[in-house]
Structure 1
């Protein structure tokens, strides 16, 4: 299985799927997590949540707080429960190097070697592109959770029926900057992530997977209560698997993506096929296999923590 060096850019702390993705990555042998950067809102708090989850999985990791305010000027959406279940979170340290500085430095020091998995609003990535002309060409690949491209193949989609999605809507300016940067990109939208569900039987397996699993279980329950539901769509973990297990997905051919900048449709994403394009869109997932792989990796991270602690 190919080995990938990655940086995770995340708005961890609201939807529990970011935390699931982080622990999943820590339990995936083919992934070498070089760094984590946080974005959107209280990014220092988000960095502390990263630190706590990594520690629970037996990993010493300092996250890099990033840009708090969307480039578009849109108000930050804040659920209000971020980090509330993690006692003493304020004592967790974070890196002194800001996220954008770290992204630029790490990528330029390793041109063509690092993939970026971006599972929050794209503000940090856009800021890095704007701050350093050589950044975009030095990124090996970009793996984005975001957008909605209607149903079926993007080539046959009806863009006016595709709903705006949170990550793109939160910073439409940043999203368009990123998609225009010609970085080789794979994007996974709602029409694919919603094919996969994490229900109670899988949650119970996670809950029994050591301290990290227990913390995830509590955050899952909190998220379920927030939305009055009993299941979870693992948007971000699904996106991670498009990198590590592309055999479980179908993808479009190359093309470009445009983001509607404002109005009621702000954040709506439109894929246009183009043989010279640099973006591919996930179009289908093997939902059962993807769900099982996510849970398996999370459980493996807990097992690894036991070995490290021993």
Structure 2
């Protein structure tokens, strides 16, 4: 029986640990068939190799493709410096020879109305796919974006990193649900939850180590799982309240570059407004534990 959701994950995995958590989470959700992973932004080959290692630790075989390295807007890549530091022999990880954008177009256009795209990094790959084939935007079942901030003037990293790509994507008419910082920041992963993840086999141990590395980077002992929250808007919609469809515009220039504004009515984009924070955190932890335990 085919899974309820056929998903491609587009990710800048490797810097903020929430991307690794989201990939692990997807691998632990029985309702999801992970069709593939595409990487974006900066050293996309390294990101792809890291993604492939996570897939292997979950005992799965999912194709991983490296995508666009440079931003459409020309904005400089932000790099934390610890990407891949905890993983030995990454050069041995198998990454598909093809291009991420070609893979996105092939899968989505070849299966119209069947593929959900979960985009948790800058939107460079998605914009390139829209331009590569005029059928792409109309063939995406739904686009789920982690990005933006819709209750204040704070530019969010993913949309700010490539505001030109974000502008093109939000203007393409794809049915979209976007989860902004004002929502994701209501959820935190704490030590007791992390300990549960860490006990779930080799995958759980890696996620624990990556989270602790991120905590050291910021000198904290908690983190916001922005990207895993976004995954749940697809798989557990009952945990969220969303707006009516409208439009999102992106500021392109000046200090506020990447600032996002939602206007209700006349569009195809919904914005998440509320969530059950406690239930969301528990769903995230449970799925990652399931992925790790299945391979243990």
The 2-side partners of 1:103 and 1:218 are apart by 31
2:161 to 167, 170, 195: 170
The 2-side partners of 1:189 and 1:18 are apart by 15
The 2-side partners of 1:24 and 1:91 are apart by 24
1:200 and 2:191 correspond: yes
SS in 1 for 2:262: strand
TM-score w.r.t. the length of structure 2 is 0.98
Asked whether the 8 Å contact 2:35–2:62 carries over to 1, the reply is no
Look up the match of 1:236.
227
Q: How much is the aligned-residue C-alpha RMSD, in angstroms?
A: 1.1
1:284 and 2:293 correspond: no
The 1-side partners of 2:62 and 2:178 are apart by 27
Unaligned runs of 5+ in 2: none
Pairing 1:99-248 to 2, within 5 Å after superposition: 99-150=100-151, 161-248=152-239
The 1-side partners of 2:253 and 2:83 are apart by 27
1:41 and 2:42 correspond: yes
Cα displacement string for residues 135-166 of structure 1 (whole angstroms, at most 9, x for unaligned residues)? 1001100000000001xxxxxxxxxx330000
The 2-side partners of 1:304 and 1:209 are apart by 9
Asked whether the 8 Å contact 1:47–1:62 carries over to 2, the reply is no
Cα displacement string for residues 256-308 of structure 1 (whole angstroms, at most 9, x for unaligned residues)? 0000102110110000011x3100000111000000000000001112213xx
The 1-side partners of 2:67 and 2:116 are apart by 18
Aligned residue-pair number = 295
Cα displacement string for residues 152-200 of structure 1 (whole angstroms, at most 9, x for unaligned residues)? xxxxxxxxx3300000000000001000000000000000000100010
Runs of 4+ more than 6 Å apart = none
Cα displacement string for residues 74-94 of structure 1 (whole angstroms, at most 9, x for unaligned residues)? 000001110010011111121
SS in 2 for 1:182: coil
The 1-side partners of 2:92 and 2:7 are apart by 27
The 2-side partners of 1:218 and 1:149 are apart by 32
The 2-side partners of 1:32 and 1:115 are apart by 10
The 2-side partners of 1:284 and 1:192 are apart by 7
SS in 2 for 1:25: helix
Unaligned runs of 5+ in 1: 151-160
Look up the match of 1:153.
none
